[in-house]
Structure 1
Amino acid sequence: MTSDFYNRGLEKAKQKDYAGAIEEFNQAIQLDPYFSSAYMERGLAYYNSGATLPAVFDYTEAIKLDKENAKAYYCRALAKVTLKNLAGALEDVEKAIQLKLNDAAVYDLRGIVQRKQGNIQDAIANFKKAAELYIIQKDKENARLCLDKIQQLQPKSQPTPNIVSSKPAPIISTQDYFTQLLAKAEQGDTKAALADLNWILKADAQDAHAYCCRGVVYYKMGNYRDAITDFNRAIELNFQDAIVYRNRGKARSQIGDHQGALADINQAIKMQPQDNLGYIARGNIYHTMGNYLAAIQDYSQAIKINPEYPLAYYNRGLSYTCLEEMTNAVTDYQKAASIYCEEEDWENYQQVLNSLQKIQSSIPATNKATYNLLRQRLLRMVGGHWEIAQRLIQQKKDVYPGMLEEWYLQKVIDDLERDRR
């Protein structure tokens, strides 16, 4: 009877009916509480259905009943990786290797754990060992994947090592590896960066850092919804870094979710208050919303944190331009141009010069001083939201058609001051 329940459980698990399989294994265990294999298979069913903690419990019970069960240690290690318990996962992998020295998958998993811990050289050594064993087993596909992992973890200037090497190649850290990928995307090679990150996530679907980095690459490619999906996944996997909230905010702003974007950027600034990029990102959102005064405040804070970051000056100049504060705009553009020139960033340098030229060509010789002063005054009265000012001006035009622009501005200002008194 016990074996009947167990065999039906195996069949249902094979058909991916994990709930049905668990029920069958429950019956088998109820009839025989010392049935080690039933605990093992129920653990696999739990794990495949996404219930990681019950899976760990069942693997542990299987180990208690059979301390030589290498597969149980291996499966529990997999589950612990999902739970971010890397130290516990490594301990189980070591035990599995002691019990079954020639299991390629165990060395492969140990390589994954050590890479996540930042032990890149040890990770490469384990991937090499796994590749050797896969070759012996004539599993060419997995052997190739292990060699791909080795190649991805090494500096690009170094060739893929032979299975036997007398002198190890220079190794980079995990953090440096992801930094290199983002630098590759920043330089325009987004396809190569994306391919590398897809490889990482194929090897380890629980790598939160890789999801975050792939989200950044998707953002640079203009795939904003894919970027948000990856940032969400990184947060679900408990990746706590300001970069994930800042970039998700930027992506949400691109699809029109400005309030959600502000919430994300605020969280990023709370986590990392001295990061000038957070204030620039929030300033960009305020600028897009037409709240130029708030944008200028954020750009100014970014400049206070890092006075040599040209983009903050350039963006603040754009906001000053929208407020018709041309003197301030010109000053900021000139500062941005100076920094870009020193950095020999000629593309952005030319962009700033073009903006300066537009300002000069947009100011006619006629007297616009009065109009500009009134416009700036009205903008400040409505909190920098020009769309509000435009609605008020249009209301006056509907009632008093044919008047000069300066007259409408002065009329709106007078009415606002009267109402406030």
Structure 2
Amino acid sequence: MNNEFYNQGLLKAQQKDYAGAIEEFSLALKADPYFAEAYLQRGLAYYDSGAILAAVSDYTEVIKLNPEIVEAYYCRALARLALKNLPGAQEDVEQAIRLNINYAAAHSLRGTVRRKQGYIQDAIASFKKAAELYLQQKDKENCRLCLEKIKQLQPAEKPTIQQKTAPIASIKSVNEYFTQLLDKAEKGDTTEAIADLNWILQADPQDAQAYCCRGVVRCKMGNYREAIADFNQALQLNFPDAAVYRNRGKARSFLGDHQGAIADFHQAIQMQPEDILAYVARGNTYRAMGNYLGAIQDYNKALQINPNDAQAYYNRALAYTFLEEMQNAIEDYRKAASIFCEQQDWENYQQTQDSLKQIQTSVPEYKKQKSNLLRQKLLRLVGGHWEIAQRLIQQKKDNYLGMSEEWYMQKVIDDLESDRRR
């Protein structure tokens, strides 16, 4: 007879007739006071009807009768959590996990409890473990819910200084969880970042943001072909973000596909005309192609948008060096170093200082060589009579004050060559 009451209780609970279910379970327990499962089910009915304390009492009876029933600890943890008894809830959920290490719901509940206690990293670890277990059980929905909880718990990161390779801010549309993974990769932990992204894509192979993020990390690892495959997949999944084209352009440039890279940068800039990173990246590719003037134009555009972009100054200095405009290069290196110093980006600051020292060392010799070449050319134009050259130079000095010696020689040369062409 007690089984009949019990079965009727289950039926009424399914129909959400919790009062009727409680009555049936009570009759079953009256017939058999040691019926642990009836206490458990009545506890669930009490919980669903809002009688939390009565539910806790029934779950406690279950544990007294059989301390190995995992569900009793889990359910009592839920009830204690509802009563804001966090220590009690944690004690119960820990016991549930000890009894069944693969109890996904218990790990998820533990994450909730630890979050409420303020232990965020511990909570994230629990939600991650729960998501992994749900994934193994092919419970995609609960896995996604755990991922969302992880994303919500990730702290908002202060934007980091731009680096020459895939900066954290390169994907502006991803949520904080993906930003955290990029931060992890930026700090050198690319292996763990890739493992996390592989795990996410196993849970949801249609997550375009994850493909884009993994592509950025693979670029940092130097796996440019794999990165391009990820960016292509993100685009196929209708994630036409400017960052996808920009980062794919970087990968193509590293592989020597400069024209393809330029096409991607054009697309990124068309989608986001104020994207400084795209201008700098396109400038770097132009520079690699030997188009130094085109590179400088892009760096100029980046600096119009943000006059304090240290990377733009640094890269423009490199372009000026190739054009042998050493003074411009020195000024840009100094500006970049100053900004890196203010940002406390000591690695880039030191690199810029090293470049600056190198170019400052070479400038006197370069100027000397240039001056000698101008002197020789001028001597040829005046038939080897240096006194004539000196008189012409002095005339220019009288007409144009404050210019360099090389400038006056070049001016005399230009005028003499112009006269000969007439």
The answer to whether the 8 A contact 1:324-1:372 is kept is no
Q: TM-score w.r.t. structure 1 length?
A: 0.50
| 1:47-89 superposed Cα distances (whole Å, 9 cap, x missing partner) | xxxxxxxxxxxxxxxxxxxxxxxxxxxxxxxxxxxxxxxxxxx
Q: Give the distance between the partners of 1:261 and 1:336, measured in 2 at CA.
A: 26
Q: Give the distance between the partners of 1:218 and 1:372, measured in 2 at CA.
A: 49
Measured after TM superposition, the shift of residue 159 of structure 1 is 5.0
The answer to whether the 8 A contact 2:326-2:363 is kept is no
SS at match of 1:308: coil
Letter in 2 for 1:192: E
Measured after TM superposition, the shift of residue 198 of structure 1 is 0.6
In structure 1, what is the equivalent of residue 278 of structure 2? 278
Q: Give the distance between the partners of 1:183 and 1:213, measured in 2 at CA.
A: 11
Measured after TM superposition, the shift of residue 308 of structure 1 is 1.4
Query: Residues 372 and 247 (structure 1 numbering): CA distance in 2 closer, same or farther, change over 3 Å?
Result: farther
Measured after TM superposition, the shift of residue 362 of structure 1 is 1.9
Query: Residues 213 and 368 (structure 1 numbering): CA distance in 2 closer, same or farther, change over 3 Å?
Result: same
Query: Residues 327 and 201 (structure 1 numbering): CA distance in 2 closer, same or farther, change over 3 Å?
Result: same
Answer yes or no: is 1:220 the counterpart of 2:215.
Answer: no
Measured after TM superposition, the shift of residue 372 of structure 1 is 8.8
In structure 2, what is the equivalent of residue 242 of structure 1? 242
Letter in 2 for 1:246: R
SS at match of 2:188: coil
The answer to whether the 8 A contact 2:197-2:214 is kept is yes
In structure 2, what is the equivalent of residue 156 of structure 1? 121
SS at match of 1:324: coil
In structure 1, what is the equivalent of residue 370 of structure 2? 369
Measured after TM superposition, the shift of residue 180 of structure 1 is 1.1
The runs of at least 4 consecutive aligned structure 1 residues that moved more than 6 Å come to 138-142, 371-374
Measured after TM superposition, the shift of residue 370 of structure 1 is 4.8
Q: Give the distance between the partners of 2:255 and 2:100, measured in 1 at CA.
A: 45
| 1:298-338 superposed Cα distances (whole Å, 9 cap, x missing partner) | 01111111111211100000000110001110110000000
- Max Rg structure: 2
Measured after TM superposition, the shift of residue 371 of structure 1 is 7.8
Count of matched residue positions in the alignment of Structure 1 and Structure 2: 237
In structure 2, what is the equivalent of residue 356 of structure 1? 356
The answer to whether the 8 A contact 2:299-2:313 is kept is yes
The answer to whether the 8 A contact 1:155-1:170 is kept is no
In structure 1, what is the equivalent of residue 319 of structure 2? 319
Query: Residues 225 and 172 (structure 1 numbering): CA distance in 2 closer, same or farther, change over 3 Å?
Result: same
Measured after TM superposition, the shift of residue 363 of structure 1 is 3.0
Q: Give the distance between the partners of 2:280 and 2:373, measured in 1 at CA.
A: 27
Letter in 1 for 2:292: Y
Matches for 1:324-343 after TM superposition, within 5 Å: 324-343=324-343
Percent of pairs identical after alignment? 58
Q: Give the distance between the partners of 2:203 and 2:150, measured in 1 at CA.
A: 22
Q: TM-score w.r.t. structure 2 length?
A: 0.50
Query: Residues 324 and 206 (structure 1 numbering): CA distance in 2 closer, same or farther, change over 3 Å?
Result: same
The answer to whether the 8 A contact 1:242-1:268 is kept is yes
Answer yes or no: is 1:171 the counterpart of 2:172.
Answer: no
Measured after TM superposition, the shift of residue 373 of structure 1 is 8.6
Q: Which runs of 5+ in 2 are unaligned?
A: 1-92, 131-148, 155-173, 376-413
Q: Give the distance between the partners of 2:126 and 2:181, measured in 1 at CA.
A: 21
Measured after TM superposition, the shift of residue 182 of structure 1 is 1.0
Measured after TM superposition, the shift of residue 160 of structure 1 is 4.0
| 1:249-281 superposed Cα distances (whole Å, 9 cap, x missing partner) | 000011111000000010000010001001000
Q: Which runs of 5+ in 1 are unaligned?
A: 1-131, 375-412
Query: Residues 344 and 236 (structure 1 numbering): CA distance in 2 closer, same or farther, change over 3 Å?
Result: same
